[in-house]
Structure 1
């Protein structure tokens, strides 16, 4: 049976050099769709289409492979992978899990693609780092934190410092309750040995935006320190102190 997830990947793969084929994503996205893709997130049909245009522009050519299973509640789950060439002609790949929720009209109301492996190690680690901050359940989040943070990980905001997975887990609860982002986009990233530098843009209630960057200090495949730089720290920490 063909599912809306099959249609989604078919549309993403059919985009031409002008990405005009992606316009048809409007037919399968709900108006207020929540898109979470490899740690990034946007809400709304037009923003979701624009997100996919930006993603397609990073590839010279690519192809997805996926599985799709319909669950008892009507949601769709599966695995996905993507492989191809970047704009410089270098081979690139990524893979993860996908879950889809549908509205009463059969359109996608929530699309969540995790990134758990790929050729760009830094990008995979950033995705896992961001995914932790999206998990609503503290117990589930604690398990995910073990997969990406050292036990005594340090999280340094411009005004506050948090040390340890348990402390940071509690802080994430506060952030999700009092200052949840409505959107989060990765602007750029690069890696130098055990350091990753990446820039971000987040959107919040009241049309507020915050721009900044982070340096991630790695210990193997785990993050042991997160250092945040932003002139907009009052936006993303408002009400959390």
Structure 2
């Protein structure tokens, strides 16, 4: 039996150079669909379609493989992997978990693809870092933080510094309650030895947006320091102080 998740991957894999095939995503996405993909997040059908156009523009070719099962409540969970060529012709890959929730009309209302492995190690670490900030339950969040942050991680905003997983966990809870973003997109990323620098674009209620970047300092496969650079910090932390 073909599921809406099967149809989703078929549409994404059918994208040609014009990306016109991605318009078919409108048929399976709910109007206010929440898309969380490899740490990035957008809400709304049109933003989701635009997101996939941007993703397709980064690859010469790409193909997905997936396994999934339908739960008693109609939701779908499974695993996915992707392999292809980037714009320079280099092989690239990624893999992770997928979870889908449907609305009353059988359209996707929530699509969550986590990135847990892949050829771009820096991108995987950024995804795990961002995923932590999306987890609503503090206990589950604490467990995820152990897999990506050192115990005494330092999180440096322009005006505040938080030290330790517990302090950051508490701060994430405040952000989620008072200043959650409407979208979060990765613009670019680079790695130099134990440092990763990546640029971001976040949107907030009231048509407010913020641009900035972060430097992540690694200790092995864990992040031990996050340094934020932005001139829009007042927008990012609005309502949390």
Question: TM tier, shorter chain?
Answer: over 0.9
Gaps of 5+ in 2: none
Please report how far the alpha carbon of residue 68 of structure 1 lies from its aligned counterpart in structure 2 after TM superposition. Answer: 1.5
Please report how far the alpha carbon of residue 45 of structure 1 lies from its aligned counterpart in structure 2 after TM superposition. Answer: 0.4
Please report how far the alpha carbon of residue 134 of structure 1 lies from its aligned counterpart in structure 2 after TM superposition. Answer: 0.2
Please report how far the alpha carbon of residue 240 of structure 1 lies from its aligned counterpart in structure 2 after TM superposition. Answer: 1.2
Written as runs of structure 1 = structure 2, the 5 A alignment for 1:13-92 is 13-92=13-92
Deviation string 1:136-165 (CA, Å, 9 cap, x unpaired) is: 000000000000000000000000000000
Matched with 1:176 is 176
Matched with 2:12 is 12
Matched with 1:127 is 127
Deviation string 1:7-54 (CA, Å, 9 cap, x unpaired) is: 000000011111111000000000000000000000000000000000
Gaps of 5+ in 1: none
Matched with 1:239 is 239
TM-score (norm 2): 0.99
Deviation string 1:186-219 (CA, Å, 9 cap, x unpaired) is: 0000000000000000000111101000000000
Q: CA RMSD in A?
A: 0.4
2-structure distance, mates of 1:220, 1:240: 32
Please report how far the alpha carbon of residue 238 of structure 1 lies from its aligned counterpart in structure 2 after TM superposition. Answer: 1.1
Equivalences, count: 241
Is the aligned partner of 1:185 residue 2:190?
Answer: no
Deviation string 1:172-195 (CA, Å, 9 cap, x unpaired) is: 000001110110000000000000
Cα pair 1:67 1:80 within 8 Å, conserved: yes
Aligned to 1:67, the other structure's residue is in SS state strand
